[in-house]
């Protein structure tokens, strides 16, 4: 398998040329003194080294060894503790953290690029710090000042890790029926009792302590999701002076044996009268947890993107080296027995499909991260606008990135032919690893329901109109640019299609309660394709004037043309499916399935 090399040129192109991140950072007071182009480039270059030299080399060995559970103790594969130590020594866990508690305060636009590199190099490893980052975000947003001071500095440093404990054996997505209980104690703490499953990083040997964010219900809590509270429960109790004390009533009952991400410990956690502290308000834990979950959902989407990039890098190297058959145009390398397979139209179709989805996804992740930065550091109406955009785009990023992540890794495997099915080439591991991304943090079907239900139908399309207005503004600004017409005109057509379909679903939902669910997945995919078209049009608008100066820009334009010609036309079929209604789904009696 090819050695991973971070796509720094592509990342810098998006950050500095397409989205002009430094201009945004300069006008946001919290970022003006910390984030600039020079700093961003240095951070990306340094993470590229860590990803290539430290994380990538233990990816396959970690998959083959997996995690170990022995009498409640979880150990990670060989090399993982050392790699984690290197990660922490570099201060990477503090990158986007609150400076008041030891974070660097860097923007998410930069953090998203760093996350992609880590995920490309080693998804299993990435899950440990990503969960910690999300836990820090929830604590910083909702916990008391005392809890922040006590826990955040060590979590940013990586000395302590974080975990998110939601799912129970009987309750997956429906968190309203969880059974974990929280009993108030005289000292202001709570006694937490219950069991959780599928807890990523619930236990491991990478850090001195693990800080669990646990959903539980008080004895007098209302039924359903309105009765859920959030609690901070450390694996090891922390003394008043900040030192570690005795073991809390937290234990790992087992770890899962999974299809992929085998070096990531997925744990069954037991809380037996464990001491915990309330985060946020009583019975409002789900809202507090969603601060973390929304962060993780973009992070999971980036996992799909990272796996796609890793698969593409190996596929393109293989396609250039593997010789088989002759080009339809005649021998390209007559001195050899055959030509490299990259000359064949179908192989080029596969490689370009990967490259187009990766480029569109990387641009959209940067775009979503931009809105996250404005939502976090902006003020007034701008902040509200950004929060609405984040709400709308998060389910698209999580689901579309990961659906395309599986598609891209399968394509990369296909480029290898029979060798793609063999372990030592690495492609089959990527297929197994990325598969979970469509499932955890809310399955992609749930994301689609969220997009069409809560984020579109529920507000009459108000959030959608913000996105549509942003795309329309770009179209209007470039309507007189003849050189860009090949992108602007079809983008305008697709935006109109998406508007019509959105309006149709909103209208159908007034009389048919099944309309949103019936349309949801196809609608999300339609939205994703149009969003990628917008991203590629923006990239082309920057690259076109420079095609004579640099092959990189020529490549960007050519991939954009491929996307518009060969991938974007799928929107017509998706739109037809969306407006087909729910009848063919709901008319079939259960017993006929």
3-state SS, 113-163, equals HHHHHHHHHCHHHHHHHHHHHHHHHHHHHHCCHHHHHHHHHHHHHCCEEEE
Q: Tally Cβ neighbours within 10 Å of residue 569.
A: 12
Can you tell me whether residue 212 is helix, strand or coil? Answer: strand
Could you identify the residue written with the tokens 């590629």? 536
- Quote the DSSP letter at residue 340: B
8 A C-beta contact, residue 331 and residue 339:
yes
Structure tokens at 355: 């490259």
Identify the bridge partners of residue 190 per DSSP, sorted by sequence position.
Answer: 184, 276
Catalytic one of 10, 168, 296, 441: 441
Alpha-carbon gap, residue 248 to 171, rounded angstroms: 25
User: Buried b vs exposed e over 161-188: b needs ≥16 C-beta within 10 Å?
Assistant: bbbbbbbbeebeeebeebebbbeeeeee
Nearest residue to 55 via CA among 76, 17, 82, 22 = 82
3-state SS, 163-181, equals EEECCECCECCCHHHCCCE
Structure tokens at 311: 């698969």
Alpha-carbon gap, residue 428 to 206, rounded angstroms: 27
Alpha-carbon gap, residue 545 to 538, rounded angstroms: 12
Structure tokens at 413: 């495997």
Identify the bridge partners of residue 197 per DSSP, sorted by sequence position.
Answer: none
For the question of residue 441 being annotated catalytic, the response is: yes
DSSP letters for 238-270: E-TTS-EEEEPSEEEEEE---SS-TTS-EEEEE
> CA dist 464 to 368, 454, 461, 506, Å?
14, 11, 5, 11
Nearest residue to 166 via CA among 187, 135, 128, 140 = 135
Q: Tally Cβ neighbours within 10 Å of residue 561.
A: 16
Q: Is the dihedral of CA 101, 104, 110, 115 positive or negative?
A: negative
Q: Tally Cβ neighbours within 10 Å of residue 128.
A: 28
Question: Would you tell me the crossing angle of helices 285-321 and 123-142 to the nearest 10 degrees?
Answer: 150
Our CA angle for 57, 62, 66, nearest 5°, is: 180
Alpha-carbon gap, residue 380 to 480, rounded angstroms: 34
Can you tell me whether residue 476 is helix, strand or coil? Answer: helix
Give the distance, in angstroms, between the CA of residue 574 and the centroid of all CA atoms in the same chain: 24
Alpha-carbon gap, residue 352 to 349, rounded angstroms: 5
Give me the active site residues, please: 441
């Amino acid at each position: 398998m090819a050695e991973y090399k971070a796509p720094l040129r592509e990342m810098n192109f998006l950050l500095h040329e397409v989205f002009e991140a430094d201009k945004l950072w300069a006008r946001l007071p919290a970022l003006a003194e910390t984030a600039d182009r020079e700093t961003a480039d240095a951070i990306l270059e340094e993470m590229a080294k860590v990803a290539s030299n430290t994380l990538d080399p233990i990816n396959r060995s970690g998959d083959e060894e997996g995690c170990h559970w022995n009498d409640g103790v979880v150990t990670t594969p060989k090399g993982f503790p050392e790699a984690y130590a290197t990660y922490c020594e570099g201060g990477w866990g503090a990158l986007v953290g609150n400076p008041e508690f030891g974070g660097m305060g860097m923007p998410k636009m930069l953090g998203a690029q760093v996350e992609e590199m880590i995920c490309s190099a080693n998804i299993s490893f990435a899950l440990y710090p990503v969960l910690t980052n999300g836990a820090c975000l929830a604590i910083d947003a909702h916990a008391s000042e005392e809890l922040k001071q006590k826990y955040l500095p060590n979590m940013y440093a990586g000395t302590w890790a974080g975990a998110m404990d939601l799912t129970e054996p009987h309750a997956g997505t429906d968190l309203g029926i969880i059974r974990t209980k929280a009993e108030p104690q005289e000292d202001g703490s709570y006694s937490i009792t219950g069991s959780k499953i599928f807890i990523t990083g619930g236990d491991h040997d990478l850090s001195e302590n693990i800080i669990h964010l646990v959903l539980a219900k008080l004895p007098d809590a209302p039924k359903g999701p309105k009765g859920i509270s959030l609690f901070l429960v450390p694996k090891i109790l922390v003394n008043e002076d900040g030192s570690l004390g005795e073991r809390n009533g937290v234990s790992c009952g087992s770890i899962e044996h999974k299809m992929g991400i085998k070096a990531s410990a997925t744990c069954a956690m037991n809380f037996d009268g464990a001491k915990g502290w309330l985060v946020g308000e009583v019975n409002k834990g789900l809202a507090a947890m969603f601060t973390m979950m929304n962060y993780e959902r973009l992070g999971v989407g980036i996992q799909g993107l990272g796996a796609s990039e890793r698969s593409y890098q190996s596929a393109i190297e293989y396609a250039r080296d593997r010789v088989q058959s002759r080009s339809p145009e005649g021998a390209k390398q007559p001195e050899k027995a055959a030509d490299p397979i990259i000359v064949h139209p179908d192989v080029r179709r596969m490689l370009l499909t990967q490259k187009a989805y990766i480029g569109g996804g990387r641009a959209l992740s940067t775009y979503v991260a931009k809105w996250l930065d404005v939502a976090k550091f902006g003020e007034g109406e701008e902040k509200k606008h950004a929060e609405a955009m984040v709400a709308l785009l998060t389910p698209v990023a999580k689901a579309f990135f990961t659906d395309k992540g599986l598609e891209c890794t399968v394509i990369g495997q296909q480029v290898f032919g029979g060798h793609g099915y063999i372990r030592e080439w690495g492609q089959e591991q990527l297929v197994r690893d990325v598969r979970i991304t469509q499932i955890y943090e809310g399955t992609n079907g749930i994301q689609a329901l969220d997009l069409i239900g809560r984020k579109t139908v529920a507000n009459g399309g108000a959030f959608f109109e913000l996105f549509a207005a942003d795309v329309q503004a770009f179209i209007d600004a470039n309507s007189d640019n003849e050189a860009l017409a090949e992108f602007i005109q079809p983008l305008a057509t697709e935006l109109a299609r998406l508007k019509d379909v959105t309006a149709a679903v909103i209208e159908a939902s007034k009389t048919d309660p099944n309309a949103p669910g019936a349309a949801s997945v196809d609608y999300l995919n339609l939205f994703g394709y149009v969003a990628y078209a917008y991203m590629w049009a923006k990239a082309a608008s920057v690259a076109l004037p420079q095609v004579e100066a640099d092959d990189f820009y020529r490549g960007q334009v050519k991939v954009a043309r491929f996307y518009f010609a060969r991938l974007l036309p799928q929107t017509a079929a998706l739109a037809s499916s969306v407006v087909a209604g729910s009848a063919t789904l709901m008319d079939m009696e259960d017993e006929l399935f």
